Amino acid sequence: MSDEQIDHDLVILGGGPAGLTAGLYAARSKLDVVLLEKGATGGQVLNTDWVDNYPGFPEGISGFDLADKMAAQAARFALTTVMKPVQSMDLSGEVKKLFLESGDTLTCRSLIIATGARPSYLNVPGEKELQAKGVSYCATCDGPFYRNLEIAVVGGGNTAVQEAMHLTKFAAKVYVIHRRDELRATRILQELAFANEKIEFVWNSQVAEILGDKEVTGARLVTKDGQESTLPIQGIFILVGIQPNNETLPLDQLEMEDGFIVTDREMRTNIPGVMAAGDICSKNVRQISNAVGEGAVATLSVEHYLLGG
């Protein structure tokens, strides 16, 4: 081991479900650990009005309350959480170095990156105001709330088309709004979607505004030639991609795929001693439950690494 000063055995970067679970496991195992978070702990869960599919809460639970319970459980084992944003880092050596915005440098033997991701937004009027009131970014999370209603999906890639088909299990009608006249999804997905009688495609159109006061009531659409129309709907799923929160990561040192971190099944990255968990990882499924599982596995991998494994 290097003779350099080392502040902690483990630093966890990010306080969403993956980071909090990693912190819970680490603190409970008596590791010298600190969790760094730039804002409030909870991550995207804080923006989720209601969580119906997390085990252990048969009646469901608000996103805020779920995040609060996760943080409280980690705190019970004395997890140290520090609200200090990271500016950059160097993971090339045996000792990992995190350079904070405050000008301080934090060193550690191991690191778990759980910085998460964020949905791509349309950035149109009404979108922000009606989030969790009919505007959603996850069909798997929120689809059951729209039983027998008419809703819309924005996007034309694989995720948008797959989610549109998933939503037909609940909704009476699903409009797929796409800015082009053909989909980007794979041919087999297109064929399945075109054959689904509950799905109707709205081509060459973009959402200019999401309408509603206390809840979504419609969307104002604009075509390529400037024609406007109003589509009456009770919900809208914006599925135009996700953005990894990788701005502070050393992208030249980590193995990445489309901006997300590549890991093995034990959540190890290509750098010894550096693990990743949650939505920052390159994967297909991003749910609270698998983020939690990945956080636990990441800490167990850290313990194995610190023991010389």
Question: Which are the catalytic amino acids?
Answer: 138, 141-142
What is the spatial distance between Cα 203 and Cα 206, in angstroms, rounded to a whole number?
Answer: 9
Q: Is 60 helix (H, G, I), strand (E, B) or coil?
A: coil
Please say whether the dihedral angle defined by the alpha carbons of residues 84, 50, 282 and 292, taken in this order, is positive or negative: positive
The one-letter amino acid at 104? D
HEC letters along 182-216: CCCCCHHHHHHHHCCCCEEEECCEEEEEEEECCCE
Rounded to 5 degrees, φ, ψ at 214 are -90, -15
Contacts of 159 (CB under 8 A, 6+ apart): 239, 241
Contacts of 285 (CB under 8 A, 6+ apart): none
The Cβ-side half-sphere exposure at 268, using a 13 Å CA radius, reads 14
